[in-house]
A = this chain, B = another copy of it.
Amino acid sequence: MADRAMIFAAQEYRDRLARLQAEMAAQGLGALLLTTPADVFYTTGFLTRFWESPARPWFVVVPPSGDPVAVIPAIGAELMGRTWLQDIRSWDAPDPHDDGVSLLAGVLAEHVPAKGRIGLPMGQETHLRMPLADYARLGAALAPRQLVDATACVQRVREVKSAAEVTKIREICAIAGRAFARVPDFVAEGRPLSAVFRDFQIALLTEGAEWVSYVAGGAGPDGYGDVISPAGPAPLRRGDVLMLDTGAVKDGYFCDFDRNFAIGPASDIAKRNHAALWQATEDTLAALRPGLRASDVHGLLCDSLRRHGATPSGGRLGHGLGVTLTEWPSFTPLDHTILRAGMVLTLEPGCVTAEGRIMVHEENILLHAEGAEILSPRAAFDLPEIAA
């Protein structure tokens, strides 16, 4: 038998399970049904890039007491068998006649009485990773049991990270920090942005990332047009501000931070905005406390940007981080989620530097009872210049 595929000791998963079951009890749920890579990994330790194939659904059922049950395609049974889970039911997927639906319905019916309620994440930042038609069949098979929203149940548990999780996020932040330190080795005037993206991914892997899930960036005079575009063949030019952003992964945990670089001497506009972004992050880091709301953090960042002479951009200015690139809450004026000790978050102020141009800056932090600790190697105050 191969070594068990755990990432963490079994006690870590038992602690998560106890917290989930406490939330379930408070909400009167007879079971929790999980279908996404993040939720399955969080409860079991089952880690595979095979999720990239949309062909097969995967299920974890969390009962009100006792251990979770995995209901999964046979191709994953060997790997799931090396996690802490004991109860693994599998079928030969994909099966066009019944792709695990009756097997799953049977497991749920074992745990949930006919008048009971089965919770699934149905709210913001969630989706159901199984075919809608199969979900309808599942609901019919389980009736009169009700399928209800359990977003809060999952989010209140996952949003508070354990010490073991923080260690993982700290490690991938350090890896990305070393990769960012190598950017001057492969960035130069005249190099296409696409080549820079490629070399940055290689640097992340070389420094210890297992997977580069996310790379984005932009480049332009005094700022960039957007922050989600793929890289094109256009070469970097003297006077550009280059931004690179990454969600690299090790042991299933993400970092998510970016860095800016000037190609040649930085313009006054770029320097001034970079300083404002850095200061807004610094001011907000000092003010962060559990009990603040996500919307308060948005206000802190915007106020500080304005105080330092910058114009805040729209959109959210930070978010949670962990087993996905982004997690709730969102630092927007509309999200009033209460910050709690143990949350890992990003501070991501952005500002408008010119017509159609923005600059952004991002750090990853851990919220303690007494305030914020920065997990990403802090950006330099001065916008780094790469000799052109």
Q: Roughly how many angstroms separate A213 CA and B125 CA in the complex, as a whole number?
A: 22
Residues of chain A at the chain B interface (Cβ within 8 Å):
2-3, 5, 36, 38, 47-50, 52-55, 74-76, 78-79, 82, 92, 94-97, 99, 120-133, 136, 149, 151, 194, 197-198, 201-202, 205-206, 210-216, 225-232, 234, 247, 314-316, 319, 324-326, 328, 330, 332, 334-335
From B131, B216, B315, A74 is in contact (CB under 8 Å) with: B315
Number of copies: 2
From B82, B149, B228, B247, A48 is in contact (CB under 8 Å) with: B228
Are B131 and A129 in contact (CB-based, < 8 A)? no
From B5, B124, B324, A53 is in contact (CB under 8 Å) with: B324
A99-B124, A315-B75 known; A326+B131 contact, CB < 8 A: no
Residue of B nearest to A75 (CB): B315
A225 cross-chain contacts in B, Cβ below 8 A = 2, 78
A194-B210, A198-B210 known; A125+B94 contact, CB < 8 A: yes
Q: Roughly how many angstroms separate A96 CA and B197 CA in the complex, as a whole number?
A: 33
From B132, B201, B213, A126 is in contact (CB under 8 Å) with: B132
A234 cross-chain contacts in B, Cβ below 8 A = 3
A316 cross-chain contacts in B, Cβ below 8 A = 55, 94
Q: Smallest distance from the beta carbon of A299 to chain B beta carbons, Å?
A: 16
Q: Smallest distance from the beta carbon of A346 to chain B beta carbons, Å?
A: 11
A54 cross-chain contacts in B, Cβ below 8 A = 36, 38, 125-127, 324-326
Known contacts A53-B326, A128-B128, A202-B206; 15 further A-B pairs (Cβ under 8 A)? A48-B230, A50-B214, A52-B325, A53-B214, A53-B325, A54-B126, A54-B325, A78-B225, A79-B226, A92-B332, A94-B332, A127-B132, A132-B149, A194-B210, A211-B212
Q: Smallest distance from the beta carbon of A339 to chain B beta carbons, Å?
A: 16
A149 cross-chain contacts in B, Cβ below 8 A = 132-133
A123 cross-chain contacts in B, Cβ below 8 A = 131, 133
Q: Roughly how many angstroms separate A57 CA and B197 CA in the complex, as a whole number?
A: 26
From B47, B53, B94, B125, A55 is in contact (CB under 8 Å) with: B125
Residue of B nearest to A209 (CB): B198
From B122, B197, B202, B325, A202 is in contact (CB under 8 Å) with: B202
